Structure 1
Amino acid sequence: MKLSDYDYNLPKELIAKYPVEPRDSCRLMVLDRKNRKIEHRIFRDVEDYLDKGDLLVLNDTKVIPARLIGKKKTGAKIEIFLLRPYTEKKWEALIKNIKRLKEGQEVIIGEDFRVKLIEKQEEGKAKVELIGDNIDRLLEKYGHIPLPPYIEREDEEKDKELYQTVFAKKKGAVASPTAGLHFTKELLEKLEKKGVKKAFCTLHVGLGTFRPIKTEDITKHKMHQEFYRIPDETLSMIKETKQKGKKVIAVGTTVVRTLETYAQTGKKEGFSDIFIYPPYSFKMVDALITNFHLPKSTLILLVSAFAGRDFIMKAYKEAVEKKYRFFSYGDAMLII
């Protein structure tokens, strides 16, 4: 299993810096696995491929404004990226220029908000304490939306809405489950009227989603852990859908990983570090809505496991030729 088999050439101008508006007007590439056919549509046409009784499973995680920019008492700038909470005030974080800080030192974010370095860890990570009243309010006031590095621009006020799905509910992600960004409330209502059901699970997307695979031998890569939870109601709806011979459609690779973790472990809640790559036998998912992913990434491996490497690489080549928009704010793909 070679990582170089999952590489492709992407012109930089095809990396989307902003989403199209309205959300459901982006392009949709439809991959038919059975007939090896590729169609080009608009995202709102997704309803043409969904039938009454089918079930959409969505990730209701909510992105927190996890990027904090502060300074030491000397005035030196320090950037802190919150990764996950241990408690309300104690967090695992990634600190740029961590060498400039000593354990016990504080970074001033605002007059009512400071971050104290408790303990240095490996790879620039640290345990920090958030000092201030009402941490949620302080993060909303001072925190920045953590846009992926490949977008190559500073976050703007409108990203607080654009980088969040319309069904985001459970705070905890530091990256958006981007396949869900294409849905509008109107499109979800339209699908509901058609008889397409929806259910939710939660996977708090971590920074590791952008971490590159560093080994040419794919099997040696170790995935990061992310918290997930699947409600009983969702599991019942999946079971009922399958019994009726209808499709379970995962909205995003995060949903696939959540459901397949449950299929492997039987646990409805916990930390997932599942790594899906070809060949893989999917237990829960019949169709997948996803974005276009980075070359040589864990995500392109997952979609290759779902649709076949050759078919995915052919689709990506066509997407580049037809100038689809790539990555988080880009266009979508439906694999049926």
Structure 2
Amino acid sequence: MTVLDFVLPAELEAHDPPEARGLTRDGVRLLVGRRATGEVGHHRFTDLPDLLQPGDVLVVNTSATMPAAVRVPGSDLSVHFSTELPDGQWLVELRRGLAQYSAARAGDVLALPGGATVTLTAPYSRGRLWHAQVTTDTGLRTDTPISDYLREHGQPIRYGYVPRPWPLASYQTVFGTEPGSAEMPSAARPFTHELVTRLVSAGVLIVPVLLHTGVASPEAHERPYPERFAVSEHTARVVNQATGRVLAVGTTAVRALESAARPDGTVAAKAGWTDLIITPERGVRVVDGLLTGLHEPRASHLDMLAAISGTALLDRAYTEAVAAGYLWHEFGDLNLLLP
């Protein structure tokens, strides 16, 4: 395991969407690292079409963000709906205000607006995530997606570094078509329709995968848990026939692609749940590069980044990002790691 530890100054946390800071969505900064040379360069996200090459393949996640936080009436607790499991239960997290809540116990029943109830059945990880049975009196069953319920009663998940609520549209990407993610696949947030047009005009191919990402507590830095994914035959064919580099947009796209990889490095059409953990020791079979946000110190995602970029380049990139005042979190700046 590779642990990248550094001090993240509070002023480098992005508290608001870039649009609230006087920028366009694609006006955020872009730190580019090249593994072959060890070079790190500073750009704007609007430079992306000039940084890629004809024949490159961008793999994007089409999961849309759900308003997955529901307040418990009469208390300061919220339930964060994370991941629907194959057996129809959910993984959920409880928060008190914006802070982690650790006093829950198996058997606790939480009454939610609209007649819904959440019954905690067993702890999943360190008492933070719980297996839960979810029922409502509106006709939804425990094995039925509850996206309709969340659209009526939920709010986007946010943490303490985002002091005020923002509408669900602030947490959607231009690629999101299928609601299912508890948190935004945020590496794709800066893309706009105009930028996508420029990329396609430059000969860059864009193909979809699906991975519904669950809650990733900023306090815990836990390993990934099972998340639903799908890689289509079309995407597998384009990736396998790529003449350029295969570049994942976000760690979710990496997990989906690598979960569908064969031992020889080709990709098969595949769907299901994945709990794949990517480390430098495991390496990657399909992905050549990654476009991603900036991750917190000691975050488990940094192992995946090191598997793609190497530890030396990753350390240099993060040293430069801190020194140059890049912004972290889902409303912050981006990092492009190239071969």
The SS at the match of 2:280 is: coil
Picking from 148, 155, 159, the partner of 2:165 is: 155
Equivalent position of 1:299 in the other structure: 301
Equivalent position of 1:218 in the other structure: none
| Cα distance between partner residues in 1 of 2:63 and 2:28 | 22
Equivalent position of 2:136 in the other structure: 130
Equivalent position of 2:215 in the other structure: 207
* TM-score of the aligned structures, taking structure 2 as reference length: 0.84
CA drift at 1:210:
4.4
Instruction: Calculate percent identity across the aligned residue pairs.
Output: 28
C-alpha spacing 1:250/1:98, structure 2 compared with 1 (3 Å): closer
| Cα distance between partner residues in 2 of 1:60 and 1:264 | 22
Letter in 2 for 1:132: T
Equivalent position of 1:53 in the other structure: 55
Which residues of 2 match residues 59-74 of structure 1 at below 5 A? 59-71=61-73
C-alpha spacing 1:23/1:35, structure 2 compared with 1 (3 Å): same
Letter in 2 for 1:293: H
The answer to whether residue 78 in structure 2 is matched with residue 79 in structure 1 is: yes
The SS at the match of 1:41 is: strand
| Cα distance between partner residues in 2 of 1:178 and 1:92 | 21
C-alpha spacing 1:273/1:174, structure 2 compared with 1 (3 Å): same
Picking from 280, 289, 292, the partner of 1:290 is: 292
C-alpha spacing 1:130/1:13, structure 2 compared with 1 (3 Å): farther
The SS at the match of 2:209 is: strand
RMSD: 2.6
Equivalent position of 1:219 in the other structure: none
The answer to whether the Cα contact below 8 Å between 2:112 and 2:118 also exists between their aligned partners in 1 is: no
Larger helix share, 1 or 2:
1
The answer to whether residue 200 in structure 2 is matched with residue 192 in structure 1 is: yes
The answer to whether the Cα contact below 8 Å between 1:146 and 1:155 also exists between their aligned partners in 2 is: no
| Cα distance between partner residues in 2 of 1:193 and 1:2 | 38
**What are the ranges of 5 or more consecutive residues in structure 2 without an aligned counterpart?**
96-100, 141-145
The answer to whether residue 239 in structure 2 is matched with residue 248 in structure 1 is: no
Equivalent position of 1:141 in the other structure: 152
More divergent stretch after superposition (128-137 vs 20-29): 128-137
C-alpha spacing 1:223/1:137, structure 2 compared with 1 (3 Å): closer
| Cα distance between partner residues in 1 of 2:215 and 2:112 | 23
Letter in 1 for 2:182: V
| Cα distance between partner residues in 2 of 1:78 and 1:120 | 18
Equivalent position of 1:33 in the other structure: 35
CA drift at 1:15:
0.7
The answer to whether the Cα contact below 8 Å between 1:67 and 1:144 also exists between their aligned partners in 2 is: yes
| Cα distance between partner residues in 2 of 1:225 and 1:87 | 9
| Cα distance between partner residues in 2 of 1:168 and 1:195 | 22
More divergent stretch after superposition (305-314 vs 224-233): 305-314
CA drift at 1:8:
0.6
CA drift at 1:2:
6.0
CA drift at 1:212:
2.9
* TM-score of the aligned structures, taking structure 1 as reference length: 0.85
| Cα distance between partner residues in 2 of 1:49 and 1:146 | 33
CA drift at 1:133:
5.7
The SS at the match of 1:263 is: coil
**What are the ranges of 5 or more consecutive residues in structure 1 without an aligned counterpart?**
215-221
CA drift at 1:184:
0.5
